[in-house]
Amino acid sequence: MIYEKEPENFKSKVEIVSCIIEAENEFLMLQRQIHKPEGGKWGLPAGKIDAGEKKEEAILREVFEETGIELEQEKVSYFKKIFVRYPTHDFIYHMFNAKLPKKPEIKIRNEEHLGFKWVTPKESLELETVLDFKPCIKLFFRM
């Protein structure tokens, strides 16, 4: 479950960054490798913030590691901090956005993802996605 304000007894041990990369009226989604948590499901380029790393550095690193896209910091905007509560743990989720003039070449890391696709916000809601993805997309695209 996602919250825009920190819920009571929230105990986050990790912070996650993600990026909605838009181009040509679609955005990029990645399909998780089967051996990963929530394997086979679709999500955004995302990952944990490393110790000592700023969230702005983490999103550039994660996007590059997962897609091969080298984003420039000034092309990435911060959207929102979300508080996520799973049955087993809590975490902070930082949402970023990057609008590109055209779709770049994508080079996924096979050990992390099965594939990628560009989708409209409406199409993304029809996919089997990672937990709490759809409320975040609805929030971002005001659906």
Domain boundaries, the chain: 2-140
pLDDT, tens digit, 9 for 90 and up, residues 40-73: 999 999 999 999 999 999 999 999 999 999 999 9
Q: Are 23 and 99 in contact (CB under 8 A)?
A: yes
- Its pTM stands at 0.94
pLDDT computed for residue 87 by the predictor? 87
pLDDT computed for residue 37 by the predictor? 86
pLDDT tens string, the chain, 143 residues long: the values are 999 999 999 999 899 999 999 999 999 999 999 999 899 999 999 999 999 999 999 999 999 999 999 999 999 999 999 999 988 899 999 999 999 999 999 999 888 899 999 999 999 999 999 999 999 999 999 98
Question: Domain 2-140: which topology?
Answer: Nucleoside Triphosphate Pyrophosphohydrolase (3.90.79)
| DSSP code string of the chain | -EESSPPTT--EEEEEEEEEEEETTEEEEEEEPTTSTTTT-EE-SEEEPPTT--HHHHHHHHHHHHH-----GGGEEEEEEEEEE-SS-EEEEEEEEEEESSPPP----TTTEEEEEEE-HHHHTTS-B-TTHHHHHHHHTT-
Q: What are phi and psi of 87, to 5 degrees?
A: -60, -30
Alpha carbons 75 and 33: distance in angstroms, whole number: 28
Q: How many CB atoms lie within 10 A of CB 21?
A: 26
Q: Which of 102, 130, 108 is nearest to 44 (CA)?
A: 130
